[in-house]
Amino acid sequence: MTGEASRTSEARRDAVFGRWVVFSPARSRRPTDLKSHAPANPSPAASPGAGGAPKPSCPFCHGRELECAPEIFRVPATPEPDAASASPWRIRVIENLYPALRRDAEPPAPEEDGEGEAAPGERAVVGFGFHDVVIETPRHDVRLWDLDAAGVGDVLLAYARRVRQLMEHPAVKYVQVFKNHGASAGASMAHSHSQMLGTPFVPPTVTTRLNCMKEIYERLGRCSLCEFQSKDILVSETQNFSAIVPFAASYPFEIWIIPRQHSSYFHEIDKDMALDLGSLLRTMLAKLSKQLNDPPFNFMVHSAPFGASSSCLPYTHWFLQIVPQLSVIGGFEIGSGCYINPVFPEDAAKILRELDC
C-alpha cells in the first residue's frame, strides 16, 4: 500500500476536552476525496410567489415576522414598535417557538442533599431556561458566509448582546451559542439562523473542559489555547484570531477559531474584534463549503460559565468550534468516549490553507 493508506495510525489526546482520538487514514480515501453527500438543508413547503415562481413558506423571512414567537430585539432597532413587522431589519433575535427549556417555568431552588433524587446522584428539576433563535438575515437564499465580514460581525455582536442580557438573570449559569446547518446536523429550518440556550446549571462538557484545562495549567503553567506548538495545523490568522485544525481533532476537517490574546468570555467581544472574527469565520465556512460540498455542520461557542472564580480565568480561554458532519458516530465512540478520525489534522489544515475563497 502507498500514499495515505500506508501511514501508521496514531492516538492523540486533546488538551482541552481531554478526549483520545485515533487517527486512522486507512479507513478513508485521500483527504481531498472526502465530500458530503447529505441532503440539502430542510425547507418548508413552497407557495406561489410573484409571477407564479415558488416562494418559500418560511416564517423567518422578511414580512412574516408576526408568524414567529415574540421578538427580543432586532438590528437595527425599530424606532416605532407598532410598525415592527413592516420595518426593515438585518438580524432578529426571537424566542424559540418550540423551546427545550421554558422561561416561564419556576427556576430551580439551590440543590440540597437528597432533594428530588430518583436514585443516588440523580436529580430532577423543572425545565427552566431560555431558548432563543438568532435569524441571521431577512433573505431566505443567503447563507451566513454569503454576508460580508461586517454582516457576520453583526451576528456575533447580537450573540454577545443576548448573552449579556441572559447573564443578568440570577438563575442562568451558562449560555450555549450554537448553529446547526443542514438536516443531519439538526437544522429544522433552511433559513440561515443560529440558537442559544441559557441553562440553570453548568453543562457537564463545560465542567470537563475547564477541569482538563486546569490540569494542563497546573502542570505546565500555561493556558492550553494561548499557544499551539505546530504551524502545520494553522489554516489562517488575523490580527486577533487564529484558525486551526486542532492537534487532536475529533472530526475530519474540524476547525477551531481562537483569540490570540487570552480571553475567558466570548460576550466581552467588541465591535473591532467581532469584525475581525466575522471575516475569519466567513472565510472558514466558505472553505469548508467549497472543499466538502456544502456539508452539514455545527458550530459552537465555548466560553467560561458565568461567575467563574478569578482563579479559573488564567486557564479558561473561549473559542469557536466548527464541526463538519461527514461521518456517523458509532458504537465505539458512544461506548468509549474516544473518536476515530480518518484525516490527520496536518493534512486537513494544508488542504484548507491552500484553498482559495
Antiparallel, parallel or unpaired: β 339-341 and 20-23: parallel
What's the gap between Cα 205 and its chain centre?
Answer: 14
In 3-state terms, what secondary structure has residue 242? Answer: strand
191 assigned to a ligand binding site:
yes
Q: Cell 466560553 maps to which residue?
A: 303
In 3-state terms, what secondary structure has residue 128? Answer: strand
* DSSP letter, residue 283: H
- Give, in order, the Cα–Cα distances in Å from 11 to each of 268, 292, 309: 36, 25, 34
Q: Using alpha carbons only, how large is the chain's radius of gyration in Å?
A: 21
- Distance between CA atoms of 184 and 196, rounded to whole angstroms? 19
- Give, in order, the Cα–Cα distances in Å from 318 to each of 236, 259, 260, 263, 345: 18, 7, 10, 6, 21
Annotated catalytic sites, by residue?
193
Longest dimension (CA), the chain: 70
169 assigned to a ligand binding site:
no
140 assigned to a ligand binding site:
yes
- Distance between CA atoms of 104 and 70, rounded to whole angstroms? 13
Q: Are 222 and 228 in contact (CB under 8 A)?
A: no
- Distance between CA atoms of 219 and 181, rounded to whole angstroms? 38
Antiparallel, parallel or unpaired: β 193-199 and 174-181: antiparallel
In 3-state terms, what secondary structure has residue 32? Answer: helix
In 3-state terms, what secondary structure has residue 169? Answer: coil
Known binding-site residues for Zn(2+) equal: 58, 61, 140, 191
